Chains A and B, each alone.
Chain A
Amino acid sequence: MKEEILTTQDLHLYYGDKEALKGINLNFDEKGITALIGPSGCGKSTYLRTLNRMNDLIPNVTITGTIKFKGDDLYAPSADTVQIRKEIGMVFQQPNPFPFSIYDNVIYGLRIAGEKDKEKLDAVVEKSLRQAAVWDEVKDHLHESALALSGGQQQRVCIARVLAVSPEIILLDEPTSALDPVSSSQIEATLLNLRHDYTIIIVTHNLQQASRIADRTAFFMNGELIEVDQTKNIFMNPANKQTEDYISGRFG
């Protein structure tokens, strides 16, 4: 039995008066990929953003319930959001490299944490870019601006940037929806490589993508978690009628 690294219990989230998450209970085992799917506005991205407290940045958000990361309450008054986000990294829909060189992008987190040892930084850059499967494409221009890269390369540099601070969990919010199919499949390959070492939670609109890469899939609708199971069960043999309707394209 694998250990549960992240647990959510009875999680409610309100934007002002509007209830966007209506009591989510969902746990994640260590390692592997979990995909969150569901129609637009179902709350899957909102849910993902509660897991590293990115929703804190939005005014008028109220959150109730508990989220525990390795047993510690993420929303305890003593919780340190900066530390949380180091352990639970995030990749966004829009590739968002900083307007600096590729090298600087990858080591940004470490450098600000005070790491100065050049050899160590070099090693981390290479390792992270290799893990993100973009090393071969960028190794000859590490000191050129990351903004000169293609969208897919930028996104993989962003993944490398997250990997460089060695998180335990990586959250991805529709990381391929702004990319072309070739870049998307490269990102998918990258994630499949990473699934043995990291706990990956990915929000995606692309059902094929979920079925290709996810070990588990969770289906959200109208702010509720409808069903979560092994991916093949969700796609081949869903327990819930709504899941079946969504998977088979009858709505959404």
Chain B
Amino acid sequence: MAELTNASDRRRLVALLSPAYLWLLVAVFLPLSAMLFFSFLTDLPQDTPDWGFTLGNYARFLSNPTYGTLLWKSVTLGLTVTLACILIGYPCALVLARTIKGRARETLFLLVILPFWSNSLVRIFSWAIVLRGNGVLERFLELFVPFDLRLNLMFTTTAVVIGLVHSYLPYVILTSYLALQAIDDDIIEAARSMGASRLTILRRLLLPLSMPGLMAGAVLVFVPVVGSFMEPRILGGRVGTYYGTVIEDQFVAVYNWPLGAALSFILLAVVLLILALASPILRKANT
């Protein structure tokens, strides 16, 4: 951009970029600042005339061990779901990008993004119907086994992980696919002509070259899963209390917006910290 000395060029740049920045200002910056402001209040100004500023909402995170426990539980959930998404999604993307060609690829691609077009709540409720006792999955398996089967999957952490992996898997597949597809076929040919085995090609060429895409997908999955509340609530039952559900309760059940906002910003800070710690790896992947 430093080369843009021409005044008309600069004007054009401002004109082209301003809608995007305006959008960021209105849709991201303003609501977030309002929430940040709320998080330092004792009460909401519209409810209580004598509101004031306090750090108490942030202090409550430290004084009540429940929040810390739940945050750790949510981070663990985020890591589990991300790992599962990578293990399932990356091989899918590999096959899609390197093996299948033509019409079949388009069809499979469509099938991968199809779940994205349905409402997430509908997806989770479908899982509830499949997983619950005497549900679709148990009935189906009973066709093959002679005894009365009880999987007891519903209302477990496994059910939550299944629902979340299904919801976020397309991110990993899409980003990995784009990175894998961009790899020049000639490089692979060259490696093969030098006698590299399939595993070596995967380990030394495909994986490092597609790492930026894979990492972008992992971040796209990890961040929303740590704050998820709807999926754990519906599929988790008794064990479905996470950091996200506690924040939701503050907004919906007790109307304590300041505390809910403070808890949200602590989550944001922790996620940013995790991404910062992981950034050396991410940067290495990008070079």
Q: Do A and B come from one complex?
A: no
